[in-house]
Amino acid sequence: MSTITPLTTLPAWAALTRHYEQINGTHLRDLFAEDPGRAERMVIEGAGLFLDYSKNRITDETVTLLVQLAEETGLRAQIEKMFNGDKINSTEERAVLHTALRAPEGASVLQDGENVVPAVHAVLARMAGFSERIRSGAWKGQSGLPIKSIVNIGIGGSDLGPVMAYEALKHYSDRSLSFRFVSNVDGTDFLEAVQGLDPAQTLFIVCSKTFDTLETITNAESARDWLLKAFGGDETAIAHHFVAVSTNKEKVGDFGIDVANMFEFWDWVGGRYSMDAAIGLSTMLAIGPERFGELLAGFHEMDVHFRETPFARNLPVLMGLLSVWYNNFFGMQSLAVLPYEQYLKRFPAYLQQLTMESNGKSITLDGERVDYQTGPIYWGEPGTNGQHSFYQLIHQGTRIIPCDFIAFVHPLTELGRHHDLLMANVFAQSEALAIGKTEDEVKKEGTKEKLVPHKVFEGNRPSNTILADRLTPKTLGRLVALYEHIVFTQGAIWGINPFDQWGVQLGKLLAQQIIPDLENPAEPTLRHNTSTNNLIRRYRRIKKGLS
């Protein structure tokens, strides 16, 4: 029996359905023409970010109704539950406390009656001490040489955050150290990552919450072999060249890494919410402890904004609600995140996991199947590159794709006119999408009759523009936390659990069953689906050189 009022029976849902009928036929061109104050009114400044949301297919009434929906679904109470350490990840019976990872020293966040903040800061202090030793050259490899290359081994949440943050903050990184990231079980990933590295000056960080992930353990074993080969099999080298980040001390020890070289985190931190836990060790090594502290401060600023700001002025709440508006009422299926900042080139990939692993669910917290759409498909690439590839579909395709443009007033690297040109493009794109170009306008340009329909831009394509001052560690923290809380807002509206990932399990289990079928020297009896059986037989046959 359901204990939660089904989403589609809420009064705000019905009101939004009626409101959608009224607004669907309205063009953004008219919304702007009829309301001169729109652009000034529909902006929010919060937690160091500026959001212009005026180019959305909304009126003030839409915002009122969306906020009403958030109230009726209990978003406010859900937010408090998260911050207070309630076990809101109900299918795994865990608290969801990534916000405690960036709580300032001296704050109190209770988990099962215990304040977790001192433990968080104790790990941060150990990470800082270790980072200083590596960065200063005090930490020596097996042969007495300082570390020059750091290889992060991890996958999913133990990889995407570290890679994205390293790329995003490269400007602030110690360029005398090189950083590489290995995630895929495809051996090419490992071999390419260690290509040209000197084992005597290489440090591996094995990042795994569980320390039993097939890809990570396989890569870590290959790393151990690679290192030991260079040191004639002397296992004492491991302590100088391997550290671990995990919640699982026992397995770290079993692997052969000294637990003194392990940086801990906790089961109340989800993998995709862990880049600001010890999983961010590579980030700290790259930018130093002080700047890592600024990153955490940025996250925390957004946490406070999310928790304390009224919904209509709350960046993550409003952006989350707008995505619900498009996803559930307009039936738009995807959402593009388009950073106009080359350093954010891995940000869309990072967001794909954050958003889609979190809200790619079809069962409510009550165990009922949803009768509405949940997580949209997130994707994107940095501008202006994307403009010369997939933007065509965003401008003139049959599907409408709401866009989040992210841009910065100041570039990190000054180079002639480049930044003004970049910014001119981001401003131009959102205007072209919203306003478009009418048939009359195209004709007035003297366009040949038969080309006119091809050159018409419908417009009415929605977007948000986030304009920040400069990409600093703090701003990155604010941006990541913004999307974390957008995901939270969406999940609360849809009544699903954004913090589990059961969908990843089935494929993992099946792979485990197939491994012996591939490695068995004798012909195995295959009991899979017939297509899978055929593929396995063909693979075995060709691999053995039989055709």
Q: Is 157 in the site for ligand G6Q (CB under 6 A)?
A: yes
Q: Is 348 in the site for ligand G6Q (CB under 6 A)?
A: no
Which residue's structure tokens are 């290889």? 151
Question: What is the per-residue burial (b if ≥16 Cβ within 10 Å, else e) of 465-481?
Answer: bbbbeebbbbbbbbbbb
Q: Exactly one of 56, 213, 430, 463 binds ligand G6Q (CB under 6 A); which one? A: 213
The secondary structure of 387-424 as a DSSP string is GGTTHHHHHHSSS---EEEEEESS-SS--TTHHHHHHH
Q: Which of 40, 93, 388, 450 is catalytic?
A: 388
Residue 158 or 202: which CB sits closer to ligand G6Q?
158
Q: Exactly one of 155, 238, 401, 487 binds ligand G6Q (CB under 6 A); which one? A: 155
Residue 99 or 430: which CB sits closer to ligand G6Q?
99
Q: Rounded CA gap, 276 and 119, in Å?
A: 14
Q: Is 473 in the site for ligand G6Q (CB under 6 A)?
A: no
Q: Is 489 in the site for ligand G6Q (CB under 6 A)?
A: no
Question: What is the per-residue burial (b if ≥16 Cβ within 10 Å, else e) of 112-148?
Answer: eeeebbeebbebbebbbebbeebbeeebebbeeebbb
Q: Is 213 exposed, middle or buried (0-12, 13-18, 19+ CB in 10 A)?
A: buried
Question: Going by DSSP bridges, is the β-strand pair 43-46/49-52 parallel, antiparallel, or unpaired?
Answer: antiparallel
Can 300 be counted among the known catalytic residues? Answer: no
Q: Exactly one of 52, 294, 341, 357 binds ligand G6Q (CB under 6 A); which one? A: 357
Residue 167 or 357: which CB sits closer to ligand G6Q?
357
Residue 54 or 213: which CB sits closer to ligand G6Q?
213
Q: Rounded CA gap, 451 and 454, in Å?
A: 5
Phi first, then psi, for residue 262 (nearest 5°) are -110, 135
Q: Which range binds ligand G6Q by CB under 6 A, 8-16, 151-159, 197-205, 523-531?
A: 151-159
Q: Which range binds ligand G6Q by CB under 6 A, 34-42, 206-214, 415-423, 536-544?
A: 206-214
Residue 274 or 387: which CB sits closer to ligand G6Q?
274
Q: Exactly one of 270, 339, 477, 498 binds ligand G6Q (CB under 6 A); which one? A: 270
Q: Exactly one of 56, 59, 78, 158 binds ligand G6Q (CB under 6 A); which one? A: 158
For residue 69, the minimal CB distance to ligand G6Q (Å) is 27
Q: Exactly one of 46, 271, 411, 473 binds ligand G6Q (CB under 6 A); which one? A: 271
Q: Which of 229, 418, 454, 508 is catalytic?
A: 508
Q: Which range binds ligand G6Q by CB under 6 A, 69-77, 138-146, 155-163, 165-173?
A: 155-163
Q: Rounded CA gap, 491 and 497, in Å?
A: 6
Q: Rounded CA gap, 338 and 112, in Å?
A: 40
Q: Is 156 in the site for ligand G6Q (CB under 6 A)?
A: yes
Q: Exactly one of 149, 216, 219, 460 binds ligand G6Q (CB under 6 A); which one? A: 216
The contacts of residue 221 (CB under 8 Å, 6+ apart) are: none
Q: Is 501 in the site for ligand G6Q (CB under 6 A)?
A: yes
Phi first, then psi, for residue 405 (nearest 5°) are -90, 135
Residue of closest CB approach to ligand G6Q: 156
Residue 468 per-residue DSSP state: E
Is residue 457 within 8 A of residue 396, CB to CB? The reply is yes
Can 450 be counted among the known catalytic residues? Answer: no
For residue 481, the minimal CB distance to ligand G6Q (Å) is 16
For residue 366, the minimal CB distance to ligand G6Q (Å) is 23
SS (H, E, C) 200-269: HHEEEEEECCCCCCHHHHHHHHHHHHHHHHHCCCCHHHHHHHEEEEECCHHHHHHHCCCHHHEEECCCCC
The secondary structure of 297-355 as a DSSP string is HHHHHHHHHHHHS-GGG-HHHHHHHHHHIIIIIS---EEEEEES-GGGTTHHHHHHIII
Can 98 be counted among the known catalytic residues? Answer: no
For residue 538, the minimal CB distance to ligand G6Q (Å) is 29
Q: Is 497 in the site for ligand G6Q (CB under 6 A)?
A: no
For residue 532, the minimal CB distance to ligand G6Q (Å) is 23
Q: Which of 357, 395, 474, 485 is catalytic?
A: 357
Under the rule (CB under 6 A), what is the footprint of ligand G6Q? Answer: 155-158, 208-210, 213, 216, 270-272, 357, 501
Residues serving a catalytic function are 357, 388, 508
